[in-house]
Structure 1
Amino acid sequence: MVLKKSLIVTLTSVGLIFGVSSLNAEAGSSKNPISSFITVPFKTTFDKGASNGSGTILNVMPIVEGNVGDWNLFNRAVIPLARVDGAIVGPNNPSPEQGGSASGLGDINYSLLFSPVNYDTFIWGVGPTITMPSASNDQLGSGKWSTGIAGMILTDTGWGNILVRGRQIWSFTGDSERRDVSQMVIEPIITYNMGDGWHLFTDMIISANWEADSNNRWIVPLGGGFGRSFKIGNQIVLSRLEAYYNVEKPEGAPDYSVSFTIQFVFPTY
């Protein structure tokens, strides 16, 4: 099995699989000449159906790949910019403060994954993650510093990819009047390559707020979408459109969401 290690791991560390084999073909090589990437996805999500109104979230998720000895290092940040009608519960913010409409910066999450350069069937990575109380409004963040562990595991199926990635964080300091944070996020991603850069996929972001009661703990979406990888000049671009319905959700979470992602990949030779 020939896997394009740097490309696949970099893209999947962000949770975005966009027809890897087609992208390699567009890059013009059967071998991967690229040793590292800087990639910047912009994901806009429209949340609808929450009891407190609607929300729009732009997640900017840059990732920079490095290498130390026998390990690949993937530095990834999730920087949310949001506009909400009220306190809307979601994976970005499990315990928002109650109030009216708000716009601005949310809590920023940073993860560092260590992944072995040499692997057999599965690519895996694990490392620390931290969430900072950077929100410009209490409704857009938890008010807590939280840290924990993040990880991912990926396999190439021949027809596509299967990836599972996730994290568990716990708050350790911050606003004493805000609820503590204990949150798990699991993100199973299945991608089916159709050729010419096109692919079908499902990318369900499942989250659990362990500080909530059992009736308001889980967000479980069901859905999927399609996307394509292509080039504009020498610039590698990846895009996708997806929609999900929350079959399980706490009070204050949206009924459904629609997302559009555009991602720019900058290879470093």
Structure 2
Amino acid sequence: MKKLLLFAVSVMLITCISAQENRTSADAEDGQSLEDKIQNPIANIASFPIIYNLSTNENNSNVVNFQPVIPVQLSKKWLLITQAIIPVMNVATQTGYENGLGNITFLGAITPTKQSEFTWGAGPAFMLPAVNNKLGFNKFSIGPSVIALKQNNGFTYGLLLQNFFSVAGPSNTEDVNYLYTQVILSKNLNNGWYLYSNPIITADWNATSNKQWTIPLGAGAGKLITHNRYLPINLKAGLFKYVAHPTEADWLIQAQATFILKSK
């Protein structure tokens, strides 16, 4: 499974790196237009994404993530990007459906203030115990987080890596060793439209081998809406096929609305 994952990521990255398109002198510099910034998780944008995830099989699971992003200016050269992920879940379990909050995570990534084609960020990530202990890990966990991406000729490609390790919690519950990664791939089109494939791939290293990985592969389309009476809105939706999932789910249907509060 690891070889399949590495092969799929390599093919997508090589495809984006090799593709090119013509740009005019009127275009904004790579990484600095709003169309580019919405594809960059560590851009200098205050935003409020709301993401709906539907995993389908015999018993569907529904998860709505609220993911506020707030940048903090540390100095002229450095920026702190803070992001919380608050999952509200309706998930099938062995004893029926469970509802409530899963593991809330918080990221603080330090990144250069100056926007350019290549950007990176690094910092700590924190995971709180699940409010409903049937909907996630039951220990407080901390881990490193790194992200690197490049934006060139309308393409964005990169990778986010995190791994959480439990540091506190009940001794009678299992320790946490949890990998969270996101592939970042997108291509800007005309009039605010774009194509993307940003699968979130996870691994619970303490689970049995047939239940370690969650790997969705697919793609979607989105549009940045700036000409309205209110805030700019980024809308997108995608369809992903699970090639691995601990519950043997088949498909992931995803829809997202991001309200852009402030951009620099």
Query: If the TM-score is normalised by the length of the shorter chain, which range does it land in?
Result: 0.7 to 0.9
Q: Is the 8 A contact 2:86 2:102 kept in 1?
A: yes
Aligned: 1:47 with 2:55: yes
Q: Write out the 4+ residue segments of structure 1 that deviate beyond 3 Å after TM superposition.
A: 3-11, 118-121
Q: Is the 8 A contact 1:10 1:63 kept in 2?
A: no
Distance verdict in 2 for CA 1:75–1:10, change over 3 Å: farther
Partner of 1:27: none
- Distance in 1 (CA, whole Å) between partners of 2:70 and 2:39 is 11
Partner of 1:26: none
Name the SS for the 2:40 alignment partner: helix
Paired residue type of 2:244:
E
Partner of 1:63: 69
Partner of 1:17: none
Q: Is the 8 A contact 2:196 2:219 kept in 1?
A: yes
- Distance in 1 (CA, whole Å) between partners of 2:163 and 2:214 is 15
Q: How do 1:1-269 and structure 2 match up within 5 A?
A: 2-5=29-32, 8=36, 12-13=40-41, 36-49=44-57, 53-69=59-75, 70-86=77-93, 99-118=95-114, 121-135=117-131, 137-231=132-226, 232-250=228-246, 252-267=247-262
- Distance in 1 (CA, whole Å) between partners of 2:29 and 2:61 is 42
- Distance in 2 (CA, whole Å) between partners of 1:207 and 1:38 is 26
Give 1:119 shift.
6.4
Deviations 1:169-200 (A, max 9, x none): 11111132322110111111211111101111
Structure 1, gaps ≥5 residues long? 15-34, 87-97
Q: RCO greater where, 1 or 2, for CA within 8 Å and sep 6 or more?
A: 1
Paired residue type of 1:60:
F
- What TM-score do you get using the length of structure 2 for normalisation? 0.81
Give 1:114 shift.
0.3
Distance verdict in 2 for CA 1:260–1:10, change over 3 Å: closer
Give 1:216 shift.
2.2
Q: Is the 8 A contact 2:30 2:117 kept in 1?
A: no
Name the SS for the 2:175 alignment partner: coil
- Distance in 2 (CA, whole Å) between partners of 1:10 and 1:145 is 30
State the number of aligned residues. Answer: 234
Percent identical = 25
Distance verdict in 2 for CA 1:219–1:36, change over 3 Å: closer
Paired residue type of 1:41:
P
- Distance in 1 (CA, whole Å) between partners of 2:152 and 2:44 is 23
- Distance in 2 (CA, whole Å) between partners of 1:216 and 1:66 is 38
Distance verdict in 2 for CA 1:156–1:11, change over 3 Å: closer
Name the SS for the 1:148 alignment partner: strand
TM-align CA RMSD: 2.2
Q: Is the 8 A contact 1:12 1:163 kept in 2?
A: no
- Distance in 2 (CA, whole Å) between partners of 1:249 and 1:266 is 35
- Distance in 2 (CA, whole Å) between partners of 1:248 and 1:180 is 22
- Distance in 1 (CA, whole Å) between partners of 2:217 and 2:187 is 17
Paired residue type of 2:112:
P
Paired residue type of 1:112:
G
